[in-house]
């Protein structure tokens, strides 16, 4: 039973997430021959303040960008 975990920033539509779930499920079926009913997908969404690259959260980067556009 494959379990695929995805961590991503929040903000995508329910339709976007359904398409991702279908694509990941199909990839598991095609690549390792997993039965469709055995594929588990876990989506974890996080706010931009909970994800950082290079010591700066995505929330801080967005705030800095918005402040520079005014």
> Distance between CA atoms of 60 and 3, rounded to whole angstroms?
32
Bridge partners (DSSP) listed for residue 46: 9
- Among residues 2, 14, 47, 48, the one annotated as catalytic is 2
Is residue 47 part of the annotated active site? The answer reads no
Whether the CB-CB separation of 8 and 45 falls below 8 Å is answered with yes
> Distance between CA atoms of 48 and 25, rounded to whole angstroms?
26
Active site residues: 2
């Amino acid at each position: 039973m494959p379990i695929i975990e995805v961590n991503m920033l929040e903000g995508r539509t329910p339709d976007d997430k359904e398409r991702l779930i279908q694509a990941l499920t199909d990839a598991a079926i095609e690549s390792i021959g997993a039965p469709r009913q055995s594929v588990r997908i876990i989506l974890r969404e996080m706010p931009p303040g909970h994800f950082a690259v290079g010591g700066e959260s995505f929330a801080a980067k967005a705030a800095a960008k918005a402040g520079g556009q005014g």
